[in-house]
């Protein structure tokens, strides 16, 4: 992951060893794409234990061609639900 700020610091301080940051991205699909619907999505939360950070993307659009697993789109509800599930998973 190139970072101009890191390169500038390297030029300024000229360290003996330089290790740029690295990262891997893992994609996870939503509940409707998983066998078992919502349960399949919940079991996927255990995979988050192996990551240092994650990005949460919540759907906030209606599209009849892309059905929502609860039949209605409500970004605030879905974010709150997932935050609760993450807290429960973290306590295990």
pLDDT of residue 18: 87
pLDDT of residue 29: 54
Backbone phi and psi for residue 46, each to the nearest 5 degrees, phi listed first: -65, -25
Is residue 40 in a domain?
Answer: yes
Q: Is residue 6 within 8 Å of residue 20, measured between CB atoms?
A: yes
Mean pLDDT score, 15-31: 72
At residue 16 the predicted structure's pLDDT band, cuts being 50, 70 and 90, is very high
Domain count, the chain: 1
With a CB cutoff of 8 Å and minimum separation 6, the contacts of 68 are: 32, 59
Q: What is the spatial distance between Cα 41 and Cα 34, in angstroms, rounded to a whole number?
A: 7
Decide if pLDDT at 76 tops 90.
Answer: yes
Q: What is the spatial distance between Cα 13 and Cα 22, in angstroms, rounded to a whole number?
A: 21
Residue 42 lies in domain = 24-90
Is residue 14 in a domain?
Answer: no
Cα 13 to its chain centre, rounded Å, is 34
Q: Of the given ranges (20-24, 27-31, 32-36, 59-63), which has the lowest mean pLDDT?
A: 32-36
pLDDT of residue 82: 85
Is residue 52 in a domain?
Answer: yes
pLDDT of residue 1: 66
Decide if pLDDT at 37 tops 50.
Answer: no
């Amino acid at each position: 992951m190139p970072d101009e700020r890191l390169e500038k610091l390297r030029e300024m301080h000229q360290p003996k060893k330089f290790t740029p940051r690295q990262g891997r991205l893992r994609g996870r699909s939503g509940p409707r794409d998983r066998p078992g619907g919502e349960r399949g999505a919940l079991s996927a939360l255990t995979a988050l234990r192996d990551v240092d950070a994650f990005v949460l993307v919540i759907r906030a659009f209606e599209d009849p061609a892309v059905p929502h697993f609860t039949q209605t789109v409500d970004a605030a509800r879905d974010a709150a639900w997932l935050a609760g599930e993450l807290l429960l998973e973290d306590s295990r």
